[in-house]
A and B are shown apart, each in its own frame.
Chain A
Amino acid sequence: MGEKRIVYMDHSATTYTRKEVIGAMIPYYAEHFGNPSSIYGIARESKKAIDTARADVAAALGAEPGEIYFTSGGSESDNWAIKGVAYANRNRGNHIITTKIEHHAVLHTCEYLEKDGFTITYLPVDKYGLVDPAELEKSITDKTILISIMYANNEIGTIEPIAELAAVAKKHRIYFHTDAVQAIGNVPIDVKAQDIDLLSLSAHKFYGPKGVGVLYIRKGVRIDNLIHGGGQESRRRAGTENIAGIVGLGKAITYATSDIEGHNRKIRALRDRLMKGILEKIPHAYLNGHPEKRLPGNINISFEFIEGESMLLWLDDEGICASTGSACTSGSLEPSHVLLATGLPVEISHGSLRLTLGDVNTDADVDFVLEVLPKVVSRLRDMSPLYQKSGKEGGCNV
């Protein structure tokens, strides 16, 4: 028997680390291990490596190197942006605007601030997951100090009209933060042209290592520190730098943004064939998210009459790695807040499947999923009391 075939289609959860990235990181563990805050030669090597990575990130975002701060990842960046701006600008107001479909790193941070006297507006989205700039403008008050809207959604892949939303913020002189963890490498980002004041990134979503991220803070933004201690990161983020991680992030972002067009063309072709194939082969299946304004690798489809976790278990049995918005995998009994915000009925939210394609995927992977998935769905429907009840047994396009 050969080794079990693995088809990885969960790149929005995490990506593998590119070989070239790992190669660049390794010297910074045993060789150039010096603490960049020290004065001797090997420490200067570490310092230089961080400077290079900072310049690489700045170039990828259209920012100045002095506006790039390294963190432990996307969650820290989101926490820092929101808590830091909230507390530093409290004298100007206590109102923050975000959306119902943010990552929990944003939502739970906002909920935490609510307990401390801040007022939060959670903007609704349309059935595709899009935020309306007019709706944003209407929700602004004279107490609004921060707007935080994700660049692209991690579950349904919808890409928000960030430049338009940021323009509304700029017009009202309110700080604009975006969680671009899913977007980087998939859409061209230019923080200056797009009027973005703060932006969060996480290296492990673009073929870099886990445990390292970025917060871009436009020069002049008033923000408190989140991590207090030593004077690292221009006295704004304490803690000895994760040098190897930072080096890896710098390399990874350079690769990820060097040919976005070409990368997207390849992934989108595979994604479109898979998406079309699933919708053709499986009746009672609906696409979640926007048909065009979506991340090139993202597929999110709900299958009626079945539940997501049982789908994932069968797919895993075949070596296919995917995820779902069903409650059963989230540790709670509520299905995905993102799917519910798009107006999807709760019972159909339980039957959602997310496949996120990336650099490793091939035409053979697409064929394999198209062969396996219809069997899995039909096996589960055969034992579902809902399928029979609906009178749709056998489907309508057999």
Chain B
Amino acid sequence: MYSDKVMDHFKNPRNVGEIENADGIGEVGNPVCGDIMKIFIKVENNVVTDAKFKTFGCGAAIASSSMATELVRGKTLEEAWEISNKAVAEALEGLPPIKMHCSVLAEEGIHKAINDYRVKQGLEPWEEKNPHSHEHDEALACDH
């Protein structure tokens, strides 16, 4: 059911772990719904120099976290903010429709981590497009 790319990122996840003294941390999801993602970023001169993750979830959730951390590395915060869930899913050569919410979680995790950084820097957080992804798409809603 999964593409080779998803299986590759599931079996050999890139950037697993935590960053000590991370500049930004984003945690999204809910154990009741079966997935939690925690994204850590290191920022230098407005550029994401390192990104790591820890994820509780299915194969698609782990692969999406891995791909999202790959995509943000080396990007400016503005560029990283623009990485959409579709971009994550496309980079993974597609996700089954029921698993698209995993890529949404990855996008949100990145946004939360960036805003965490901004707030710590005394800056205004940027407006998050999809707060609480689990509610935003009725077909994929987890009621908890």
Contacts and interface: CB of A to CB of B under 8 A. Distances in A.
Interface of A: 305-310, 313-314, 317, 326-328, 331, 333-335, 346-347, 350, 382-388
A333 B33 contact: yes
A385 B57 CA distance: 10
A contact face: mostly helix, strand, loop, or mixed: helix
Nearest to A348: B31
B55 A327 contact: no
Given A305-B56, A333-B34, A385-B37, 13 more contacts: A313-B59, A327-B33, A327-B34, A333-B140, A346-B32, A346-B144, A347-B31, A347-B34, A350-B31, A383-B54, A383-B62, A385-B36, A388-B54
Please classify how large the interface on chain B is, using the bins under 10, 10 to 19, 20 to 34, 35 or more.
20 to 34
Interface stretch (B8-16, B43-51, B71-79, B119-127): B8-16
A309 B142 contact: no
A306 B56 contact: yes
B143 to A, nearest CB: 8
B54 A326 contact: no
A346 B30 CA distance: 11
Interface of B: 7, 10-11, 13, 16-18, 27, 31-38, 53-62, 98-99, 101, 140-142, 144
5 nearest A-B residue pairs (beta carbon): A347-B31, A328-B58, A309-B58, A385-B54, A350-B34
Contacts of B37: 385
Given A333-B140, A346-B32, A383-B16, A307 B27 contact: no
A310 B60 CA distance: 9
B54 A384 contact: yes
A386 B16 contact: no
A314 B10 CA distance: 9
23 contacts: A305-B56, A306-B56, A307-B57, A310-B10, A310-B61, A313-B10, A326-B58, A327-B33, A328-B59, A328-B60, A333-B33, A333-B34, A334-B142, A346-B32, A347-B32, A383-B17, A384-B36, A384-B55, A384-B56, A385-B37, A385-B54, A385-B56, A386-B31
A37 to B, nearest CB: 43
A385 B58 contact: no
A307 B58 contact: yes
B102 to A, nearest CB: 9
A385 B60 CA distance: 16
A347 B36 CA distance: 11
A110 B89 CA distance: 39
A311 to B, nearest CB: 10
B13 A383 contact: yes
Given A307-B56, A310-B59, A317 B140 contact: no
B10 A328 contact: no
A334 B7 CA distance: 23
Contact of A310 (B31, B58, B140): B58
